[in-house]
Structures are given as C-alpha cells and as structure tokens.
Amino acid sequence: MKSMVDQMLSHPLGILVGYFSVAIVGLIVFLSCFELVARYKCWNEIGRGNIAAALATGGKIFGICNVLRYSIEAKTSVFDTMKWSLFGFVLLFIAYILYEFLTPVFSVDNEIIKDNRAVGLISMFIPVALSYVIGACIF
C-alpha cells in the first residue's frame, strides 16, 4: 500500500490531489474546532448575513490555507505538510484564545454575534498576519 501511495505522490497530478485533500480535510477539522469553542455558530451567523462572522471565519480559512501554502513551497512531503498544518493550527488556535482573553473590555465572540464589523475585521487580520509568521518558520 505504501509503495502505491508513494508512486501516486510521485506524479504531479497525484501531488495536487494529495495536497488538495490535506487542505480540505484540514479546513473541515480545524474550522470544526473553532466552531466548538466559539460562542456563536459561524455558518449560522454567515447564513443570516453577519458580515463580522464572515470576516472572522474567512480570516481563519485564509490563515490555515496560508500555513499549508508555505509548507508546500518548502517542498516538504504531504505527510510533513499535515504535521506543519497541525502545528500551525495549534498556534492559530492559541492566538484565537489569547485574543479573546486579551480584550477584557468586550467579548470578541459577543461582538461578532452583534455583527460588529470592526471586531470582525481585526478578527480576520490576526490569523492572516500570524499565518505569515508561522509560514516563514517552515523550512
């Protein structure tokens, strides 16, 4: 089985499918983890037109995918990409928790529920910016 996977990953199309699969599974798993700790349901809020929730969720999606991009550019294997994406996600998750903790004047999640677009915008930029820092450390 391993030789068959290695053979598939030696072809450019196989590599594309491998990285794409890792990205899709990673997004599903990682966004589900964020959904578990947030005080709001991201997709429900987005469905009702909450721009702040859309901005915050979009930032998380971009952050996760940007870490994956850097890992792919580092010419690591698909398996190393999975490891780096897990590590990057943990760091982004810690940043999310710290962001909520370090804003004692208001609750980030409650402000996003209220569609506070200023909070949604900064909630988008934090994972985006940190994904560049995390990605720069991948070699």
Query: First CA to last CA across the chain, in angstroms?
Result: 28
Answer for the pair 70, 135: CB distance below 8 angstroms, yes or no: yes
Residue 2: the pLDDT is 62
pTM here is 0.86
* Average pLDDT value over all residues in the chain: 89
Q: What share of the chain is helix, strand, coil (3-state, %, to 5)?
A: 80, 0, 20
Which sign does the torsion angle of CA 105, 88, 58, 25 carry? negative
Residue 123: the pLDDT is 95
Q: Where are the domains of the chain?
A: 2-136
Q: What is the pLDDT of residues 65-123, one digit of tens each?
A: 999 899 888 877 778 888 888 888 899 999 989 998 888 888 999 999 999 999 999 99
